Chains A and B, each alone.
Chain A
Amino acid sequence: MIVMRDLQKIFGGTGAGISSTSITFLKGEWVTLLGTSGSGKTTLLRLIAGLEQKSGGMLANPYSLQDTSFVFQEAALLPWKTVMDNIILPLRLRGMPKEHAKSKARPWLDKMRLHDFSHAMPHELSGGLKMRVSLARALVTEPKLLLLDEPFAALDEPIRIELGIELRALFKQLRPTVILVTHSITEGLWLSDRVLVLHGKPGKLVMDERVHLGDERPLHLRGDPEFLKKVETCFEVLSQ
């Protein structure tokens, strides 16, 4: 369980960040952070990851770095390494022998449908494939906390949907705590168990809503009247 009380982080120059926010993230739930630009969605994620230092308040994160994986907006692959070597990077940095790391990575290559590309170099891959590699690298360590910072932002809609379905299936199987930052209300509601909306600059938590849509999230759910009603509510909160 990640607990934050009156957590604050404001950037001097722009005034962006988050102001006095209290949230509790439960173990094994998928939480999506939605918000206007500058409302501190990414800042919140980076504070949890330890990539930013808080200005005030309290943050208790029981997950160690070993238990945490972070997926960035860009695939952030090492251009001189093959797909396989990029995926096993976190294991190698922990001192795991190469062959052992590769055997651990192989199932992830299959799950992310990358088995035909294990020897490919990053520059040979499309944007969607690069993001698959990035996700496989994040999942190969079997993290207990998965932080996703707009990982699908640069991708086309069909690929976003495809990756969303696959990620949700893996979530069902592994049950890590997932915190997803996204600009897409539909995507956020469709994939997660709970949606938080930040608003303003610096951002304040203005909505904390559970999404009771069950474990299965088929694509047609996005056309469901109840689902669309939730999208509308979020939209109204965001455009206040």
Chain B
Amino acid sequence: MKVARFIYPVIPLVVLILVTETLSRKDVIPRFLLPAPSQIFQAVLDDPHSFGHAFFETALCSTLGLLLAITVGLAFSIVLSASKFFRNMFYPYATFFQTVPIIAIAPLLVIWFGYGSATVIASAFIVSVFPVIANSVMGLTRTDPTLLALFKMMGASDLKTLFKLRFPLALPQILGGFKISSGLAVIGAIVGEFISGSGLGGLVDEARNQQRVDRVFAAVIFAAALGIIFFSLISGLNRLLLRYWFRDRSTDD
């Protein structure tokens, strides 16, 4: 049932809001540790401009970081998938992006790119590029050998085989990589903003310094919402592009 898909996840959220609101109002949990949901909501209403601006800034930097990760990651994956020689030579370096602790190199990014959007975009890019590379290389190098033989028999060039067979066939894996990266881009952007002092990350840092736990929570909720929006958009793209792949109407024996 379609309605159930939307209603069921809302139930635990409503319960959580009601429980925390009650616990906070009855002072079971001190408000400076866990503010009531109404208090968090009020914090946003008191300063909508700051939250709106920060949300937009983080959304923009995350989007740019993600788009850069998708573009660079895909181009790099196509090169890596073209030959085993390239893969052996460069793939280990791609794992650098997964293993590098972003929080440790964020100050370095500030030195390189300054206290601005460039640092935030670079941080989002570094965190989100590896899933694009890992999934795309996997998809592009595991083409069904029968289909490859078929294309060879049909006289297709390497370039035609890439764009007419390997790429579309790898699309489910490639989009799976985008999905993982979409959430990571928001995380990367917020880490970058912690250091550069802008967007939702900057807002969290500032509110923490002022001991405004309600504002910290509000910013975190905005960040989570941004992650969910990104994830939903990529999932929607996934469904749109792969709608013919679903086998729910199959008449196979």
Binding site for B on A (CB under 8 A): 46, 49-51, 65-66, 68-70, 72, 74, 76, 78-80, 89-90, 93-94, 121, 123-127
Contacts and interface: CB of A to CB of B under 8 A. Distances in A.
Interface in B221-253: 244-247, 249-253
Given A74-B146, A79-B244, 13 more contacts: A46-B149, A50-B152, A68-B153, A72-B146, A76-B150, A78-B168, A89-B154, A93-B156, A94-B155, A123-B244, A123-B247, A123-B250, A124-B249
B147 interface: yes
A79 B172 CA distance: 12
Contacts, number: 61
A70 B245 contact: no
A127 B168 contact: no
Nearest to A156: B253
7 contacts: A72-B146, A76-B150, A80-B244, A123-B246, A124-B249, A124-B250, A126-B253
Contacts of B253: 126-127
Contacts of A124: 249-251
A109 B246 CA distance: 25
A127 B251 CA distance: 9
Interface residues of B, number: 26
Nearest to B153: A70
Contacts of B249: 123-124
Contacts of A49: 149, 153
Interface in B157-206: 160, 164-165, 168-169, 171
A121 to B, nearest CB: 5
B153 A127 contact: no
Contacts of B164: 93
Contacts of B244: 79-80, 121, 123
Contacts of A94: 154-155
Contacts of B152: 50-51
Contacts of A126: 251-253
3 tightest CB-CB pairs across the interface, nearest first?
A65-B155, A70-B153, A90-B154
A50 B249 CA distance: 37
A189 to B, nearest CB: 27
A63 to B, nearest CB: 11
Contacts of B155: 65-66, 93-94
